[in-house]
Structure 1
Amino acid sequence: MSVAPANDDRTAELHALDATLAGVRGLVASGATHVPHIFRLPDPVEQLRDPPPSAPVPVIDLGGDRAAVVDAVGRAASECGFFQVTGHGVPEEAMASAVAAVRAFHEADGGEGSDKARLYSREPGKAVKYHCNFDLYQSPVANWRDTLYLRMAPDPPSSDELPESCR
């Protein structure tokens, strides 16, 4: 069983992770050999006793009947919390290009002078930012994830604000 660190130790670990400007990917790249306490549930054995039943991700075709689409979105949002959208008209090539650009950003090295370090921020109003766990200091357990956030509407950021891989 994992013992949670004292609150002061936890706060120090959270600040240390944030100070790397490299997120979870930076932990892996640095050669970490164990998952830090901030990412562990207090009693992982208890959490695994009754795993939730697995269900397929709902797929909603936006090209269908409007009332049916609205009903499907409402049902998926309330029952599952997320869903996949098809029939939106975005070309496959554009989606593949976007995924490749974001993957390239996340797989790139971090550190001083990198796009990751330049964009690392917790400032709510920023249109382009990178961070590890948007709720890092509020959540009782950190999530093993990094996020590249690009707010494109109503006014997209200028090209020089975007990471090199996303231009």
Structure 2
Amino acid sequence: MEVINTNEAKYDRKAELQAFDETKAGVKGLVDADLIKRKKIIQEVGQASESWGFLQVINHGIPSHVLEEMKDGVIRFFEQDTEVKKQWYTRDFIKVFQYTSNFDLFGAPVTNWRDTFTAIIAPTPPNPEILPSVCRDILLEYTNQVMELGDTLFELLSEAIVLEPNHLKDMD
């Protein structure tokens, strides 16, 4: 994970992504591979957090096929027959899987017409049977990938503020 100025003419994003993807090591492998580089990454993460309050992760390690399959899973869900989707429609926002239109339909002064689904899968994965079959597997896989990325970012942020690597991850 490296802070890169993507405006530089010499930056070849596609080549960088391809090279990273071919390592099959993910962000954790990239970070663990080089301690000197890791120190630089920790410093850059710390500076970005302090200066900006946020950071953008490029080359995050979530495989492109997982991202594409996630998009395809969302499309599969929304393209189902209305009768099939109706079984998932709810305004009960404590359910693990929620399909709704305009979550703030009755409270907002204006209506933003959109359909949405939300799946509460982390930190404890639900029984897979309560997720729609058309996107179940990819929801779980994508969540695992994002959780791994989150753990790595927590490690880097912990070290950037001179704490043990697991400090933020281990907080309740």
Return the TM-score normalized by structure 1: 0.50
SS at structure 2 position matched to 1:123 = coil
Partner of 2:103: 134
Question: Residue deviations 1:23-54, cap 9 Å, x none?
Answer: xxxxxxxxxxxxxxxxxxxxxxxxxxxxxxxx
Q: CA, structure 1 residues 141+88, in 2 after alignment: closer, same or farther (shift >3 Å)? A: same
Does residue 70 (structure 1) correspond to residue 42 (structure 2)? The answer is no
Q: Which has the higher contact order (CA 8 A, sep 6+)?
A: 1
Letter in 2 for 1:155: T
Does residue 117 (structure 1) correspond to residue 89 (structure 2)? The answer is no
Determine the C-alpha separation between the residues in 1 that align with 2:131 and 2:104: 23
Show the 5 A alignment for 1:23-38.
Answer: none
Partner of 2:133: 164
Partner of 2:64: 92
SS at structure 1 position matched to 2:121 = coil
Number of paired residues? 96
Which residues of structure 1 form unaligned runs of 5+?
A: 1-61, 77-83
Which residues of structure 2 form unaligned runs of 5+?
A: 1-26, 32-40, 137-172
Return the TM-score normalized by structure 2: 0.49
Determine the C-alpha separation between the residues in 1 that align with 2:116 and 2:102: 7
Higher helix share: 2
Determine the C-alpha separation between the residues in 1 that align with 2:52 and 2:63: 22
User: C-alpha root-mean-square deviation of aligned residues, in Å?
Assistant: 2.4
